[in-house]
Amino acid sequence: MNVLFIGNSHTYLHYMPRMLAELAQAADSSIQLNIDQITGEGAGLQWHWHNQPSREKIRSRRWDWVVLQDRSGGPLEELESFRTHARRLDEEIRRQGAKTVFYMTWANKSRRRTQKMIAEAYGQIAAELGAVLAPVGLAWEKVQTLDVELNLHHIDDRHANPSGAYLTACVFYAVFFNASPEGLPATLQIEGKIRLDLAEDRAGFLQKIAYETVLNAEV
């Protein structure tokens, strides 16, 4: 399975795509999950559409899935631009025989009320284009509602901390494999270093929420 992530720091921080690959390998060592990414700090869909290397990367090989992630504020601040460039990138992705996945992001910690608008924007464009929705933001919202002590945000209140990145990777695992990540490792070693070391019960909680959210996502 070949997966390309197109996004920004919400994609690459804490090695999130590598976390996904490690989870897949732990589930089944025969799984060949080849992940690549093209990201830029603060980059959104409009930036990637006009960035020639991004479009060349889409054309560079036979991808199964191409994940699109906009700036966290993109759907809130420039909704029409978000929709326009989502459509353009989706058309390019389909032309290469791949399937588009929209990576619904989460709200800033101080602006949780905006999660509904973010979810609606991603859900509507995914439905319009017949694309797949990765409801990451909804999983974050559910975790924060059920366990107010479990922090998913980095100290800047915008990005993910390692627990948030792990929850995000679990959502993508459920999306790509149509299976629950429950029981997969709570400790992940990437590039020779331990990047995540969660308590088993905390990891199990995040895994469960990720799978339930993917199964029951409504926007």
CATH number at residue 169: 3.40.50.1110
Integer Cα distance of 190 and 212 in angstroms: 27
The residue range of the domain holding 7 is: 2-216
* Residue (of 219, 38, 82) closest to 137 by Cα position: 219
Q: Return the pLDDT at 110.
A: 87
pTM: 0.96
pLDDT digits (tens, 9 = 90+) for 117-130: 999 999 999 999 99
Residues of the chain whose pLDDT is less than 70? 218-219
Q: Return the pLDDT at 219.
A: 59
CB 13 within 8 A of CB 109: no
Domain count, the chain: 1
Percent of the chain, pLDDT > 70?
A: 99
